[in-house]
Structure 1
Amino acid sequence: MSGRAWRVTKIGAEIAVPLAILLAWQLWTASAHQARFPRPTTIAVEFQKLWLFSQFDEHVVPSLERIGAGFAIAVVAGIALGIPLGLSRRAHRVAMPHIEYWRAMPPPALLPISVILEHSIANRQKIAFIAFFCIFPVLLNTIDGIRGIDPTLLETARSYGVPRRARIRRIVLPAAFPQIVAGMRNSLALAVIMMVLSEYFSSTSGVGYVLLISKNTFQLVPMWAAIVLIGVLGYVLNLLFLLVERRVLAWHRGWRAALPD
């Protein structure tokens, strides 16, 4: 199969499979009364009414702001901490047991602490919660990317008297960039999950809050509309990130081609 035919088949499958699932769902719910599984058409109408108009500013915008702030903090902190841990073997040995301990901590285990300390989870706690758990993919990928750099590059730059900051800016970060970007992509997907989880506790706004209230009050159609929105947010954010990633990695390929053999 040629490359073009494969791309056409892949795109066709990506479109056909979800449509087939939705059609089967629609036919199943039309032939039998399923209160817990509303028809896709009913969910679509509720989605349009709920999220595209009445509650977009009240709930969707705060959730996006929390995702953006938490993700940005995680990226900056993960890269800033990953550089020294990737360059120093001693710092790496000391820090890794602590990093692995907190990385293995289940996110819901830390949420009740904020409730106990401050009797609620304010916006800053939600952002901090998202940033804390999203930092690990960026941090670990930064460390691995730096530790995988050819030592000859660093030794050559050091022998020519290139300052440490210049080596980090011109060699270390560009060489580790593909792995850092991969960690950022995983972190962005995790940010959506952490956003929903943080809004489950003592919240008055956000998509996760609407999902929780709809579940507790047995409003099943708004609940399904919230679930669909969470999937749409994750998909769109990932798609936007992929578009940026392609441009950035195209620059990286040019940087690699400019290196001496």
Structure 2
Amino acid sequence: MSAATTTARTAGGAGGAGRAAMRALHILLLPAVLIGAWWVASLVSGVYYLPTPGEIAATFVEVWGTERLLEDVLPSVGRLFGGFALAVVLGVGLGVVLGLSARIRALLEPVLEFFRAIPPPVLVPLLMLFVGVSTTMKLLVIVSGCIWPILLNTIEGVRAVDPVLVDTCRCYGIRGRRWLTTLVLRSASPQIMAGMRQGLSIAIILMVISEMFASSSGLGYTIIQFQRTFAIPEMWSGILLLGLLGFLLSVVFGLVERKVLSWYNGTRAAARGE
């Protein structure tokens, strides 16, 4: 290996490290500025309802220990995952059927549009009457909201399957379950994953709303109890925990999405000549 090659590789490595450092700086800069502005505003205003980030951080460590983690956080996360998983199964299953059959889609579309227009929070009192204040009620609230982006994206993804690929599968005798998994679901998977990402953010919101309405545990219940007892730093610590939970779920979903759609991302990169 020549000295020039070694120097070039060293310079390239240094350049990559520098770009990574700049990217990390850009990512952390805005949160640091916002926290600093919040800190200054809380100190200048002196408002009781606006504690400093330092107070919230100290309260966060104190409040969300092991006991409250087991009693409130884990049940909420369990209901979130349960409702989201049920919405994915129903949304993808019904979306595939409606996407493949124009006749069934035309028959059900008015009813689906009617139910889609109903805000999920208004269903909470109705569900409380039918199924009571239970885990089932909270799961149904989550499903009633986050199923729609999954369902609609699945329908559009299935309808957009390339007709040339459909004819190719027909020529090679690819039918039934293999046709569904190899062609239909694979072709629609980018839009299905986009719908799932939207549905996940809605599921977090509805998880909190369902627990605020009627519950004796969970993040939503705990935050509203802190607010009612004027435990303001504790209330802010719960909001902070929800933000961190949403951010963590977004990161994990992004990793899963990249894994599932690795073929799609590779195809797009090849089409761009990268």
Q: TM-score, normalised by structure 1?
A: 0.90
Please say if 1:35 is aligned against 2:55.
no
Structure 2 residue runs of 5 or longer lacking an equivalent are 1-14, 270-274
Task: Tell me how far apart the structure 1 counterparts of residues 100 and 63 of structure 2 sit (CA, whole Å).
Answer: 50
Q: Does 1:46 align with 2:76?
A: no
SS in 2 for 1:185: helix
Query: In 2, Cα distance between the equivalents of 1:26 and 1:71?
Result: 36
Show CA shifts across 1:44-65 (max 9, x none): 1111111243410000000000
1:76 equivalent to 2:89? Answer yes
Q: Which stretch of structure 1 is more off in the superposition, 64-73 or 209-218?
A: 209-218
Matching residue of 1:160: 172
Q: In structure 1, what is the equivalent of residue 262 of structure 2?
A: 250
Identical-residue share of aligned pairs (%): 40
- Which residue is 2:192 aligned to? 180
> Unaligned regions of 5+ residues in structure 1, if any?
none
1:199 corresponds to which residue?
211
Distance change >3 Å, CA 53–CA 42, structure 1 → 2: farther
Partner residue of 2:117 out of 70, 81, 104: 104
Larger Cα-atom Rg: 2
Flag the 1:16–1:52 CA change in 2: closer, same or farther, 3 A. Answer: farther
CA drift of 1:73 comes to: 0.5
CA spacing shift, 1:221–1:74, aligned 2, 3 Å: same
Aligned equivalent of 1:60, options 73, 83, 105: 73
Match of 1:140 in 2: 152
* Residues 5 and 148 of structure 1, relative CA distance in 2, 3 Å threshold: farther
Tell whether the 8 Å contact from 1:75 to 1:135 is kept in structure 2 after alignment: yes
Tell me how far 1:104 sits from its aligned partner.
Answer: 1.7
Higher mean displacement: 162-171 or 176-185: 162-171
Q: Does 1:124 align with 2:124?
A: no
- Distance of aligned partners of 1:172 and 1:256 in 2 relative to their CA distance in 1, 3 Å threshold: farther
Partner of 2:6: none
**Conserved? CA contact 1:174–1:252, under 8 Å:** no
Counterpart CA distance in 1 for 2:265 and 2:241 is: 36
- Give the letter aligned to residue 208 of structure 1: G
Q: Which amino acid aligns with 1:121?
A: V
Report Cα offsets for 1:233-260 as digits up to 9, x if no partner. 1110010000111111114456899xxx
- Give the residue type in structure 1 aligned to 2:166: L
1:121–1:201 Cα contact (<8 Å) kept: no
Aligned equivalent of 1:24? 37
TM-score normalised by L of structure 2: 0.86
